[in-house]
Structure 1
């Protein structure tokens, strides 16, 4: 299957021609898939087995299925009666960050020396600047990342500066990353190549006030999956004062229109997090970057200098704290 993935990526440049050639097959297979769904896939055991072996399963445009047809959809700001966005406290924290020179000193493109750079396509200006600033301000002793990569490199940069201010600012980073990130073993972190669902819950119970739990996992609610484990098993066990990050959370907006209409991402973590925070007196919103860029964009630009150069970018970091 891995060889097939590489082959398909290698022929991406001829995708339009392939698109035209396979269109008749898509019509035939699509109609047959829809008929199977209508009759019941369990009545087609051979095809059902093939679906599982290929790693593919058809869905249809029906209210019992995940939604993929957003033709009539337009993005709008949603309002929440049950969530206190803590706007004044967010702005107070934002105004307390004084790290513009340090952020400006970080490279935009990859350098020979390695380390973090902003134009990485994954964790860029705004979101990364916020992470850096929170580490610099709260000086955590422990950081646990569920899903790692460029965020880890940015954390390392901030921790270096904290340590220069005193050895009491030592910080350990634990990365829970089971997928395709073996290079993490080359930097100064503890790497756990396992699913977060298989991690020892005691690991999270050791986090103390000012420490960070950074979550950037699958974004999908599934039975026995990582998102449910994080919300229902990990968050309630955290001590007071622990900072928690969720990535790709665009509240009070929905997920970006392009993701829904063109890329067909069926992510739903955001809505579970919103439900979790509704009328929840044990957690508070610390920094919701999508919210801030809608209502207080100038303050965000004044705080994060690299983001200010491309302020049209959508930010997706959502920070909360256990009370």
Structure 2
């Protein structure tokens, strides 16, 4: 589960120092400065995935310096990769300089000096950061070093797949059991390595198993993107990735979670329909319109599949969701101050 901490309950004068101490303890020793420390705000959350750790940060603009003296003071010997969700960051490391905005990724090494700045004009920063032991990366260090202090586009290719997976971790990892988390960590390592390899034109250096798991994650992202297409079938998925349908099924059998391709498509469609049916702002949208939006061929097919999955009809589920939402609002209205 995510472990969340916030400076919000501290006196304003203590918040910046609290965050600087947090970064030094949980990330690496770093010298931080802020233009207006008295107005500083910050929140952080951490998710352990075995050898890999994911951290979410939200904080006011600041500057950071990682000097040789600070490296000697403490070095986790990690590669770290950040997905900028909001704001902007300017990073310098290993003779590279880059400016990274929302939606893109940036890569650095804790064992090398670096400088970073979050411009005030870009506003508060929201960052998801991966902490990856150097030993888990299957690529040669000399190749990886070329990407230090570099912007990695998050809008296409494996950068987009990795960003999408981090989004799903943010939304759903808290509901996973302890046994699932190390497996998620393995996926994070594979996707990160594949993303770096793609940007280095070194995909042939990846182990075959890592390439297979990365392809499976790309397929999951493709399916999520095309759920509304009623013609999304295993054949269409295979064609979209230039593999045979047999290879697609073998990939799911070897590296999936026991679910067939078609079952996975149906489950994802049902989950999207369920989410929409529970949204009060969509109460006026007909059930069949929601089903069609997510690729179901007709209301009868959708109703049977929904009842089989959730034990009630779509209409009954919507009515129960509305009742629960109204009960929650009523409870909030009468709750004591």
TM-score where L is the length of structure 1: 0.24
In terms of fraction of residues, the more strand-rich structure is: 2
Looking at secondary structure, tell me which structure has more helix per residue: 2
TM-score normalized by the length of structure 2: 0.23
